[in-house]
Structure 1
Amino acid sequence: MTATRETLPDLAAMAAYGARIAAALRAGDVIALEGGLGAGKTTLARAILAALGHQGEVPSPTFTIIETYAAPPLRLPVVHADFYRLEDPCELAEIGLDDYREGAVLIAEWPGNAGDFAHEPGCLSVTLEPAGQNGEGGRIAIARGGADWVGRLP
């Protein structure tokens, strides 16, 4: 699995990073966003959605668990999921995640609570960590891509 590491000093850098991810996306891909509370997972998800053509609000799906975005107007349909509140990956069947994913990109926050997606060839795992003292230097993004991401890593 290939990995890249990039420092994102501010929101503009996060938006540009999200745009690079969006440009490389294909139907069926998974963007697994990892990091602690406040790491910037939802901010990066918003940047990806904006780069795909979404205009307007992107609510955090913490309470709804899943938010969907259609194509058009987006270049690809997107399922934005926040699995923070899942207690067991078995709950995914109740939610119907597989039905939502058909032909869409999945942006997954807290993917470990859903059993993880790293085994999928189309999974790009992005871990966001604070850069500098107390995150004052922005974020560090560490991206690891599955087999389908060879040559597409941001």
Structure 2
Amino acid sequence: MLRIHLPDAAATEALGSRLAARLADACRQAPLVVHLEGPLGAGKTTLVRGLLRGLGHTGRVRSPTFTLLEPYELPRCEVAHLDLYRLADPAELDYLGLPDMLHPGALVLVEWAGKGGDRLPGADIRVALEYEGEGRCARCEAGSSRGEPVLAALEPAPAAPVPPKNHP
């Protein structure tokens, strides 16, 4: 698990942008599912905004709270941003076209994934955002072997060893 302190919305968007290229590369062969967890207002849609910007989206990023789904056709992948907070029944995912979203080149970002029940695929990556002091904290973990290299790329590089000083 990777834990990242996010002092403000800009840092949350920057994390999304850092994730973008890795996620686009990882979904080329098979769809990649990312579960975004956290209380209302924790920054889930802010993270998605940064991710979409990192993938080249220049338009408005809407929260799918009322529409349940916001699709984005981008050059590197298709992104489906789902917010299941208002989902009444997991079977509604079929009406939203979830089965058709799960194809190579697709990145599926799901807020409130627990509401999807067994109709929703398991997470390749889980990002849990929580309040931490004045900012937020993101706990990122792989839910599958496909998610592991994505998160490994986010980890800070180990500090280079300091060479010993030559003493006369």
TM bucket, shorter chain:
0.7 to 0.9
> Aligned letter for 1:152?
V
CA contact (8 A) 1:80 1:107 kept: yes
TM-score, with normalisation over the residues of structure 1? 0.86
Q: Give percent identity, aligned residues only.
A: 47
Question: SS of the counterpart of 2:16?
Answer: helix
Report runs of 4+ in structure 1 exceeding 4 Å deviation: none
How far apart are 1:151 and its partner, in Å? Answer: 2.5
Match of 2:81 in 1: 80
Give the TM-score normalised by the residue count of structure 2. Answer: 0.80
Which protein shows a greater Rg?
Answer: 2
Measured after TM superposition, the shift of residue 142 of structure 1 is 0.3
3-state SS of the aligned residue for 1:48? Answer: helix
Higher relative contact order (CA 8 A, sep 6+): 1
> What is the CA deviation profile of residues 122-148 of structure 1, one whole-angstrom value per residue up to 9, with x for unaligned ones?
x1110000011xxx1x11000111211
Give the distance between the partners of 2:18 and 2:54, measured in 1 at CA.
Answer: 8
CA distance in 2, matches of 1:52, 1:62: 22
Alignment gaps of 5+ in structure 2: 155-168
**Secondary structure class of the residue paired with 2:3:** strand
Name the counterpart of 2:14. Answer: 16
Cα distance, 1:16 vs. partner? 1.8
Q: Is the 8 A contact 1:118 1:125 kept in 2?
A: no
Q: What is the letter of the counterpart of residue 82 of structure 1?
A: D
Q: State the superposition RMSD in angstroms.
A: 1.6
